Structure 1
Amino acid sequence: MFEAMRFYIRWVERTNKIVGTITMYGIFAMLFVLGWSIAAKSLALPALWTLDISQFLMVSYFLLGGGYSLQQDGHVRMDLLWGTLPPRKQSWVDTLTVFCMIFYIIILLYGGLGSTMYSIEYGERGFSAWRPLMWPIKVTMCVGITLMLLQAFAMLFRDILRISGRETTA
């Protein structure tokens, strides 16, 4: 069982690292789109698509990078008491609190999947003048949420291994 946990941790963290690293470069796409918007406005050429695309890129950037952020321990933690605990007791606290995160992510994924299915079924479009299809960003959101859920379970497994004295480094 512990070997299966180690395999899962390695697989999920490798996947999140690849996706997170690729997503990191999305900032350049956002800069390009926003730069294009500024240039178009200064030349009095309306660019109807720039607001929607920049919003889609920002959502993708945050959600696809979420699992990587969790992996790198880049999330917000109130460590007033947690930081003073030894590593094994920190793992006990994390094991208890990760269930709240998993519950929240599952609810988020459930809502996202329902919204995505609706968007695909009815060909939902945005409300702007450009009217882009909404299903591609909703699928991207569900992928990002799924990666965060997988990483949350990897964090749980890592804490279980640490508590049991079988800590893994990968």
Structure 2
Amino acid sequence: MPQLIKGYVRFIDRISDYVGYLAASLIFFMGAVLLFDAFTRNVINMPVHWAIELTQFTLAAYYFMGGPITLKNNEHVRMDLWYANLSERGKAKLDLVTIWCMIFYLGVMLWGSISSLQYAIATNEKRFSIWNPSTIPIKSLLTVCLVLMLLQAFSLVFKHIATLRGERI
């Protein structure tokens, strides 16, 4: 594989790692917000209306940001009935076929997320609740994470091609 492709794969893998580790740290933030909510509601009898919604937004961010590292580490859900019995080259061939389905799916999702983000920006979209937060930040994060997942998917394409050629990236 050319050095440019190897550099691309290493760069995207590193970004996916950083984003994934940041996503993992969001668990602690969600726990702190929920503990704060429980304290204010039960101990000082002053409920905060934004805590549960903030936790929901954070959980959505956790899922979005966890996608690229899940792809990179090959930890996504797969039907292993036949796949587990294939050789490394057989797995690479099958992955090269199926990854294009995923790239198509991610492309459609990205198209929809861009459209949704444009609408949110144009209308200053807010969630209808007591807290009434803007949806622009979470929709922006979704769009960025879908781009990173697409970049990671192409990194996987290069890794599978390298496997078929008997190389390692």
In the superposition, the TM-score normalised over structure 1's length comes to 0.94
Q: Find the counterpart in structure 2 of residue 105 from structure 1.
A: 106
Q: Find the counterpart in structure 2 of residue 18 from structure 1.
A: 18
Inter-partner Cα distance in structure 2 for 1:107 and 1:39:
43
Q: Find the counterpart in structure 2 of residue 75 from structure 1.
A: 76
Which residue identity is paired with 2:64? Answer: L
Q: Find the counterpart in structure 2 of residue 143 from structure 1.
A: 144
Residue ranges of structure 1 left out of the alignment (5+ in a row): none
Deviations 1:99-119 (A, max 9, x none): 111111111111111111111
Deviations 1:3-35 (A, max 9, x none): 322111111001111111122111000001111
Report the Cα offset of residue 41 of structure 1: 2.0
Report the Cα offset of residue 37 of structure 1: 1.6
In the superposition, the TM-score normalised over structure 2's length comes to 0.95
1:35 counterpart SS class: helix
Residue ranges of structure 2 left out of the alignment (5+ in a row): none
Q: Any conservation in 2 of the 1:60–1:144 contact (CA below 8 Å)?
A: no
- What is the alpha-carbon root mean square deviation over aligned residues? 1.2
Q: Does 1:162 align with 2:149?
A: no
Q: Find the counterpart in structure 1 of residue 85 from structure 2.
A: 84
Deviations 1:31-63 (A, max 9, x none): 011111222221331211112110110011111
Inter-partner Cα distance in structure 2 for 1:116 and 1:8:
28
Inter-partner Cα distance in structure 2 for 1:47 and 1:74:
37
Q: Any conservation in 2 of the 1:2–1:161 contact (CA below 8 Å)?
A: no
Inter-partner Cα distance in structure 2 for 1:10 and 1:101:
21
Which residue identity is paired with 2:81? Answer: L
Q: Any conservation in 2 of the 1:40–1:46 contact (CA below 8 Å)?
A: yes
Q: Find the counterpart in structure 1 of residue 131 from structure 2.
A: 130
Identical-residue share of aligned pairs (%): 35
2:81 counterpart SS class: coil
Deviations 1:75-114 (A, max 9, x none): 1111110110110110000000001111111111111111
Any residues of structure 2 matched to 1:35-50 within 5 Å, and which? Answer: 35-42=35-42, 43-50=44-51
Inter-partner Cα distance in structure 1 for 2:91 and 2:5:
19
Report the Cα offset of residue 158 of structure 1: 0.4
Number of equivalent positions: 168
Q: Find the counterpart in structure 2 of residue 115 from structure 1.
A: 116
